[in-house]
Amino acid sequence: MSQLRQDPIQRRWVIIATNRSERPRDLKTVAQFENGGPCPFCPGNERETPGEIIAWRHPGTQPNQRGWEVRVVPNRYPALQIEGELERCAQGIYDTVSGIGAHEAIIETPEHDLTMSDYSVEHLAKVITAYRERIQDLYRDHRFRYVLVFKNYGALAGASLKHSHSQLIATPVTPRLVSLELESARDYYGMKERCLFCDIIKQEMREEVRVVSRNEKFVAFCPFASRFPYETFIMPLKHSHDFTTLDEDGVRKLASLLKDVLFRLKVLHNDPPYNFVIHTSPNVETSPRRPGYWGTLPYDYHWHIEIIPRLQQIAGFEWGSGFYINGVEPEVAADKLRKSLG
């Protein structure tokens, strides 16, 4: 079984998952699939994946067979295992947690060569709905403190299969980067009784220079201190701490803006590799939990999507210092993205 180990210096958790070394790897596997091999995510090869957790299907079709539009399946090589007891232990100065969690693949389309920016708004809405429903379901398991939805697009972004898919991992601890956001939001609210993210949105909308696109419910902008060239955040205009509270109209509006941003990146940078992550509220119903565990979340946190094009590599200075060197001003990046569609 996997194990989580905490680094007491950085206060971050590392997942030790030796079975991950067995998964199919990038270039050899992708080349085999492109030469007519059996892509496990293509229709007709449903037996190559674990059974569906949920799926959007054409009427009259059967589970785990052709006829699906979006499928969610357990990852065949999970970083964390859903079965077992959650145990927290000490090994001298070090803390460990048993590798309990969930790791799922969201197979976004039956079409092998489609990318997310190619989907119709209606189809992308189904993918986003799958994210929402899986987070809701996993948060009913009180062992899990956080569910991270993420997408790796392209080999340079860590994708091991070409067929478009995204993933989620449920963890028994809150990831350190998310905790830092939560702490900043809580501290800001404690000082000003306002949401930090809402104040950022108001300033970005007022200045406009970093705004890429927007609609009635969401705004996309390049952050003031962007870590990477053309990094883009998508945030709901109305305060909301929890991604899973999205209604159907919100899902559709989010699908529209996400497609718009990804298509702009595709046009401007010739379909670059990228990652995106959804940062949402942690699970406040975990058991046991500390007193006052993220007690002001509904007021101080604001869920959002972070899109990170992989246009440059992280090198020694970044790893060693925690600084990022970005060669493109976010104001310039936003301007080019705004103009990318003519």
Predicted confidence band of residue 198 (pLDDT cuts 50, 70, 90): very high
User: Does the structure show a pLDDT above 90 at 20?
Assistant: no
Q: Hey, how many other C-beta atoms are within 10 angstroms of the C-beta on 114? A: 14
Our measurement of the distance from residue 203's CA atom to the centroid of its chain's CA atoms, rounded to an integer in Å, reads: 25
Overall residue count recorded for the chain in this entry: 342
Q: What is the spatial distance between Cα 33 and Cα 44, in angstroms, rounded to a whole number?
A: 14
User: Does the structure show a pLDDT above 80 at 30?
Assistant: no
Q: What is the spatial distance between Cα 39 and Cα 112, in angstroms, rounded to a whole number?
A: 8
User: Does the structure show a pLDDT above 70 at 220?
Assistant: yes
288: preceding bond cis by omega (within 30 degrees): yes
Token pair recorded at residue 313: 């590599």
Rounded to two decimals, the pTM is 0.93
- Per-residue model confidence as pLDDT tens digits over 248-258: 999 999 999 99
Q: What is the spatial distance between Cα 292 and Cα 289, in angstroms, rounded to a whole number?
A: 9
Closest CA to 102 of 86, 87, 89: 86
Q: How distant, in Å, are the alpha carbons of 3, 21, 100, 199 from that of 16? A: 5, 11, 12, 39
Q: Which residues are catalytic?
A: 165
Which helix (H) or strand (E) segment holds residue 205: the answer is: helix 196-207
- 300 close to 186: Cβ distance less than 8 angstroms: yes
Token pair recorded at residue 245: 């509270």
Q: What is the spatial distance between Cα 104 and Cα 116, in angstroms, rounded to a whole number?
A: 18
In order of their start, the domains of the chain are 22-79+103-339 (3.30.428.10)
Supply angle C-alpha 111, 113, 118, rounded to 5.
85
Predicted confidence band of residue 342 (pLDDT cuts 50, 70, 90): confident
